[in-house]
Amino acid sequence: MTTKPYVICLMMTSLDGKILSDAWGNDPRIQRLRGKFEETHEKIGVPAWIVGRTTMEKDFTHFQAPILSQNTKSLGREDFVAGSNAPSFAIAIDSQGKLGWKSDTMHGDHVITILTEKVSDAYLHHLREIGLSYIFAGKDSIDLPVALHKLRTLFNIEKLMLEGGGHINGSFLNEGLVDEFHQLLLPVVDGRKDTPSVFEISDKKRKKDSILFKLRECQQIDDDVLWLTYAADH
């Protein structure tokens, strides 16, 4: 059995490779283009998806502050698996335990949060109280290969949808963990210098000068959108 899920990165970009659509205005055509991401997500049909803390906080938990339990009992840093038989999963990478969770589900998906060992006992107690699964993948920083190994072995996740942001995508790519890349190329230009792109890797952590992919399919879908599918050239 393989020790990690097959990772499919799905991202929606402007023609100039930018990924944040918030500043593109509210023209009805832009609104239709924004809907392409969820449509394509459903077509691919992978029941486990993963994002970084920033994306989860902005788009899903809406900056809810971390909830700390009143239970002060010390806890060991063992993984807590509450929903291994769930049909679908929403997974967050949250090294310091900054996300505020009120429930163990997100849009019907069982939540798994990936932590480091430096999170507080009070935070872990709260996650246990609401039945939200958590796994540890590093002492002070996230070790992605360890995290993926645990998602495969503890939750039997065979395929995983990676959906940003740029730093998380870049971290997966830098570790050679992206198997397939789907890009929805929208007929719009962002033009801003400070808008993030699909993959962002810091110079200090970069392991390769560049990373090659092979084009597998190119489809033109509604509203002049190109759906490009690439396989990693491992």
What are 44-59's pLDDT values in tens digits?
999 999 999 999 999 9
- Give yes or no for a cis peptide into 97 (omega within 30° of 0): no
Predicted TM-score (pTM) of the model is 0.94
Placement of tokens 């038989």 in the chain: 85
Q: What b/e sequence results for 62-89 when a residue is b if at least 16 CB atoms lie within 10 Å of its CB, and e otherwise?
A: eeeebbbbeeeeeeeeeebebbeebebb
Average pLDDT over residues 79-104: 96
> Position 217: which residue type?
E
Report, as an integer, the average pLDDT of 78-88.
95
The region of weakest confidence among 15-24, 99-108, 176-185 is: 15-24
pLDDT (mean) for 176-188? 97
Q: How far is CA 121 from CA 67, 91, 128, 227, in A?
A: 12, 20, 11, 44
Asked if residue 20 has pLDDT above 80, the reply is: no
- Whose tokens are 């920083």? That residue is 141
6-232 fold: Dihydrofolate Reductase, subunit A (3.40.430)
As a whole number, mean pLDDT of residues 16-43 equals 90
